[in-house]
Amino acid sequence: MFFIIGGIQPKTIIVDRQARSCPACGHYEAYLKRVDHYLSLFFIPLFPVKKGNPFLICENCKTTFDEHGYSMDVGKTAGEKKCHHCGRSIDPNFTYCPYCGKAI
Ligand SMILES: [Zn+2]
Ligand SMILES: [Zn+2]
């Protein structure tokens, strides 16, 4: 009879140690990382079962971006609009900006 203490564990891999400038705060503290899932046995990662997509994370402001530097925290919803006056992202159904009150 088999008795296996194991499972799938996420493991963060630093893909590129070359610091990049963070699109959000401008600091050169953004690193390209990837979360791979490893099959682990007795809490020791044995081999990767799933490769994650690389993403950029800033050590300074903790903002995550995709590998091209686009923020993954905002702009996820399709058809999102930005106010031309204050630059904040708003619901596309709005006619007036809720932040600055100007017509869009
Ligand atoms: Zn940053
Ligand atoms: Zn506005």
Q: Read off the pLDDT of residues 7-47 as tens digits, 9 standing for 90 and up.
A: 888 999 999 999 999 989 999 999 999 999 999 888 788 88
Helix (H, G, I), strand (E, B) or coil at 41: strand
Tokens of residue 40, six digits: 């682990």
Q: Which ligand is nearest to the CA of 24?
A: 1
Residue at token pair 């499972």: 7
Q: What is the mean pLDDT of residues 95-102?
A: 90
84 has pLDDT over 50: yes
pTM higher than the cut 0.85: no
CA of 14 to the centre of ligand 1 (A): 17
The tens digit of pLDDT for each residue in 43-61 reads 788 888 899 999 999 999 9
Cα–Cα distances in Å, from 86 out to 24, 89, 98, 100, 104?
Answer: 17, 9, 10, 7, 11
Which one is predicted more confidently, 41 or 5? 41
Q: Which ligand is nearest to the CA of 56?
A: 1
> What is the Cα–Cα distance from 65 to 57, expressed in whole angstroms?
6
